[in-house]
């Protein structure tokens, strides 16, 4: 990763907002539009129905999902994939995975690196 890529990752789509009232498929599409990687929500060990909202997912899982969480998450392209996934768990109590071209992205690379396929 070059210096230009590091600088670009810090400023490209520097903020990503998550609203508990949005459908999971909408959140996933917005995340992919912002970062060029897929965001997949899980209900237990199964992929959650994209037609659900975070609030509705709370009713379908044994894990408590905090739909009153902070108004948004700040996610940057320079953030490690594993750290971004942990933010969703910490703020909303929901499990997510980041994928690129249908493959799980390693937790130790940045979102920007994942978007460029550098793994």
Residue 43 lies in a domain: yes
> What pLDDT is attached to residue 23?
92
- Check: pTM over 0.75? Answer yes or no: yes
Residue 30 lies in a domain: yes
C-alpha 75 chain-centroid distance:
8
Q: Smallest Cα–Cα separation from 100: which of 114, 86, 82?
A: 114
Range of the domain at 89: 3-114
Q: What is the pLDDT along the chain (119 residues), one digit of tens a residue?
A: 565 555 555 555 446 777 778 899 999 999 998 889 999 999 888 899 999 987 787 666 555 555 555 455 678 888 999 999 998 888 777 899 999 999 999 999 999 899 999 88
> What pLDDT is attached to residue 21?
81
Residue 119 lies in a domain: no
Residue range 42-59, pLDDT digits in tens: 988 889 999 998 778 766
Q: What tokens were used for 93?
A: 């109590």
Residue 32 lies in a domain: yes
How many domains are there within the chain? Answer: 1
């Amino acid at each position: 990763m070059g210096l230009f890529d590091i600088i670009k990752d810090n400023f490209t789509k520097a903020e990503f907002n998550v609203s508990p009232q949005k459908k999971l498929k909408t959140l996933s599409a917005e995340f992919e539009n912002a970062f060029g990687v897929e965001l997949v929500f899980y209900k237990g060990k199964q992929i959650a129905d994209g037609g659900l909202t975070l609030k509705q997912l709370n009713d379908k899982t044994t894990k408590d999902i905090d739909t009153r969480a902070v108004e948004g998450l700040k996610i940057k392209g320079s953030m490690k994939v594993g750290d971004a996934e942990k933010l969703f768990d910490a703020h909303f109590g929901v499990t997510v995975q980041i994928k690129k071209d249908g493959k799980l992205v390693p937790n130790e690379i940045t979102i920007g690196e994942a978007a460029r396929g550098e793994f």
